[in-house]
C-alpha cells in the first residue's frame, strides 16, 4: 500500500490514536515510508507586499514590505513558507536569499524530523530569523500535508480556543482614525492602537468618539519617561484599554519592570523579545511576551518559547508582521495557546498569494480543518 492509500484507509486513524485493521492493539506504530530516493526541493522568490494603508508607528512610515516566498516540494506535495522583512529589523531580500542558497535539504529523506532539520538550518548562521522561519513554516506545512492533519492538530491544540484577533489602527489624523475605526468596528471585537507619539490621547479619544470596543495599545518603545508612562497606562485603563505592548525602549528593562509592577494592565514584550533565549531573562520584567515567527525563526522555536513563558508564569501573545496568509496561518496555529492574538498582517495587504488558511469570522480567528496551513494558491 503506498503512503496516500495508507492515509486514506487506516493510516490517519491509526496516527490519531486508533488501531490499524489487522493489528492487535497498538503494538507497533504504523509507518510512513520515506524512501531514500525522495528528496526535498527548496525554492524561493522575492514577493513585495503592498499595504492597503501607509503604515505608521512611532519611528517610521511605509507603503510596502519586502518579502520572500518559499516552497518545499516533496513527493508531489508542496509546503509553503514565507520570510517577511519589515525594514527596521535589518533583514533584506538579499540577506534572506543568500541564506537560503546555503540550505541543502537534499541530505534529509524524512521531512517529519523537523527538530533535526531545523537544528541544521539554525546552525548555518547566527541570525537570519525570517529566512529560518520561512523554511520552518514550509516544512511544517509539508509535514501537515504528508500526515493529512492541520498544524493545530499536530500540536494538540483546540481550534475553538484561537480567540479574537486585534486589528491595528495606525497613527493618523483624528478624521482618518475615526474612519478606520468605523471600518473595523463591525468586523472585529478588539482593536489595537499604535501609541508612543505625542498624540496618544487624541488617537484614543478619536476612537472612543465612534466605538466602545476594547483596545490594546502598542507603544513600540515610544514612551521616554516611566512615571508619565504609568500615568498614561492608568488613563488608558479608564478608557477601555486592556493591555499594553512594549511601553519603553527594549533595553530599559529596569524602568519597564517598575511599570509592570505598578500597572493595572498586563505589559507585553515585543521588541525586547526576539528568540528563545530572550524569554527567561524577561521573567518578572514583563507580564507576557509577543511571539512572532519572523523573530523566533519559526514554529518549532515559537513552541519552545511558549513552554518557557508558561514555566515562568508569563502570558503569551501571538503576533505577526505584515505577511501573507501563509505566515499568518502558521502563527494562528499557536493562537489557542495565547491570551492575546494580533494576527491581522494578511488583512493589511492587497496582494495576498493565498486563499484559505486562517480567516477572521465575526472577529474570531477561524482555523481551517485542512492539512498543514490549509492554503490554496490564488
Report the alpha-carbon distance of residue 297 to residue 139 in Å, rounded: 13
Q: Of 14 and 219, which has the nearer Cβ to Mg ion?
A: 219
Asked if 344 touches Mg ion (CB under 5 A), the answer is no
Q: Classify residue 323 by burial, with Cβ atoms within 10 Å: 0-12, 13-18, 19+.
A: buried
> Using CB atoms, what's the residue nearest to Mg ion?
270
Binders of Mg ion: how many residues, by CB under 5 A?
A: 3
Is 205 known to be catalytic? Answer: no
Please, which residue, 255 or 270, has the CB nearer to Mg ion? 270
Q: Which stretch binds Mg ion (CB under 5 A): 75-83, 114-122, 264-272, 353-361?
A: 264-272
* Only segment of 113-121, 263-271, 309-317, 352-360 that touches Mg ion (CB under 5 A): 263-271
Q: How far apart (Å, rounded) are the C-alpha atoms in residues 80 and 139?
A: 8
Quick one: which of 164, 270, 323, 352 contacts Mg ion (CB under 5 A)? Answer: 270
Mark the segment that binds Mg ion (CB under 5 A) among 31-39, 74-82, 157-165, 267-275.
267-275
Q: Is the Cβ of residue 71 or residue 245 nearer to Mg ion in the bound state?
A: 245
Is 292 among the residues known to form the active site? yes
Rounded distance between C-alpha atoms, residue 1 and residue 20, angstroms: 13
Q: Which stretch binds Mg ion (CB under 5 A): 91-99, 112-120, 168-176, 266-274?
A: 266-274
* Cα distance between residue 329 and residue 249, in whole Å: 29
Q: How far is the CB of 25 from Mg ion (least distance, A)?
A: 50
- Number of residues that this document lists for the chain: 378
**Range list of β-strands (E), the chain:** 41-46, 49-56, 61-65, 67-74, 77-84, 166-169, 190-194, 215-218, 241-245, 267-269, 288-291, 315-319, 340-342, 354-356, 359-361, 364-366, 375-377
245 flagged as catalytic: yes
Least distance between Mg ion and beta carbon 170 (Å) = 12
DSSP conformational letter for 281: G
**229 in Cβ contact with 264 (< 8 Å):** no
Neighbours of 170 (CB within 10 A): 19
Catalytic residue list contains 164 = no
CB of 17 to Mg ion, least distance (A): 39
Is 270 an annotated catalytic residue?
yes
From 132, 145, 292, 295, active-site residue: 292
Active-site residue (options: 145, 194, 295, 315): 194
Least distance to Mg ion from the beta carbon of 250, Å? 11
At residue 348, what are phi and psi to the nearest 5 degrees? -95, 0
Nearest to 240 by CA among 267, 261, 217, 269: 217
- Min dist CB 46 to Mg ion, Å, is 25
Check 172, 218, 271, 352 and give the catalytic one: 218
Name the minimum Å distance from CB 232 to Mg ion: 17
Q: Distance (Å, rounded) from C-alpha 218 to C-alpha 321?
A: 14
Contact between 43 and 80 (Cβ < 8 Å): no
Cell 514590505 found at: 65
Q: Per CB under 5 A, which of residues 117..136 are in contact with Mg ion?
A: none
List the grid coordinates of 52: 492597503
The contact mask relative to Mg ion for 213-252 (x = CB under 5 A, - = no) is -----x--------------------------x-------
- In whole angstroms, the minimum distance from the beta carbon of 199 to Mg ion comes to 18
| Marked catalytic residue, from 110, 141, 200, 270 | 270
Decide: residue 3, CB within 10 A, 0-12 exposed, 13-18 middle, 19+ buried. Answer: middle
Choosing from 136, 245, 255, 344, the catalytic residue is: 245
User: For binding to Mg ion (CB under 5 A), which residues are involved?
Assistant: 218, 245, 270
Active-site positions? 194, 218, 245, 270, 292
Amino acid at each position: 500500500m503506498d503512503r496516500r492509500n495508507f492515509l486514506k484507509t487506516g493510516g490517519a486513524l491509526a496516527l490519531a490514536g486508533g488501531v490499524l485493521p489487522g493489528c492487535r492493539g497498538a503494538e507497533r506504530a504504523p509507518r510512513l515510508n520515506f524512501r531514500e530516493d525522495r528528496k526535498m526541493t527548496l525554492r524561493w522568490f522575492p514577493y513585495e507586499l503592498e499595504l492597503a494603508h501607509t503604515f505608521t508607528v512611532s519611528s517610521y512610515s511605509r507603503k510596502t514590505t519586502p518579502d520572500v516566498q518559499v516552497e518545499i516540494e516533496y513527493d508531489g506535495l508542496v509546503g509553503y513558507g514565507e520570510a517577511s522583512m519589515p525594514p527596521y529589523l535589518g533583514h533584506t531580500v538579499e540577506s534572506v536569499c543568500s541564506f537560503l542558497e546555503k540550505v541543502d535539504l537534499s541530505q534529509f529523506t524524512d521531512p517529519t524530523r523537523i527538530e533535526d532539520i531545523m537544528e541544521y538550518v539554525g546552525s548555518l548562521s547566527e541570525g537570519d530569523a525570517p529566512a529560518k522561519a520561512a523554511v520552518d513554516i514550509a516544512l511544517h506545512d509539508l509535514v501537515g500535508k504528508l500526515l493529512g492533519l492541520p498544524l493545530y492538530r499536530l500540536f494538540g491544540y483546540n481550534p475553538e480556543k484561537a480567540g479574537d484577533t486585534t486589528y491595528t489602527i495606525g497613527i493618523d489624523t483624528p478624521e482618518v482614525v475615526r474612519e478606520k475605526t468605523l471600518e473595523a468596528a463591525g468586523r472585529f471585537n478588539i482593536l489595537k492602537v499604535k501609541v508612543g507619539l505625542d498624540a496618544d490621547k487624541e488617537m484614543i479619544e478619536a476612537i472612543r468618539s465612534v466605538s466602545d470596543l476594547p483596545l490594546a495599545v502598542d507603544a513600540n518603545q515610544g514612551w521616554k519617561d516611566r512615571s508619565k508612562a504609568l500615568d498614561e497606562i492608568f488613563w488608558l485603563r479608564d478608557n477601555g484599554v486592556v493591555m499594553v505592548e512594549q511601553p519603553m525602549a527594549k533595553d530599559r528593562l529596569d524602568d519597564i519592570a517598575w511599570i509592570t509592577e505598578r500597572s493595572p494592565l498586563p505589559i507585553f514584550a515585543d521588541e525586547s523579545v526576539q528568540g528563545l533565549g530572550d524569554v527567561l531573562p524577561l521573567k518578572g520584567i514583563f507580564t507576557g511576551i509577543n511571539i512572532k515567527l519572523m523573530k523566533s525563526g519559526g514554529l518549532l522555536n515559537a513552541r519552545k518559547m511558549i513552554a518557557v513563558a508558561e514555566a515562568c508564569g508569563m502570558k503569551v501573545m501571538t503576533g505577526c508582521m505584515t505577511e501573507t496568509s501563509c505566515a499568518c496561518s502558521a502563527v494562528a496555529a499557536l493562537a489557542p495557546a495565547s491570551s492575546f492574538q494580533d494576527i491581522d498582517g494578511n488583512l493589511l495587504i492587497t496582494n495576498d498569494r493565498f486563499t484559505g488558511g486562517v480567516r477572521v469570522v465575526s472577529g474570531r480567528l477561524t482555523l481551517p480543518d485542512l492539512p498543514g496551513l490549509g492554503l490554496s494558491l490564488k
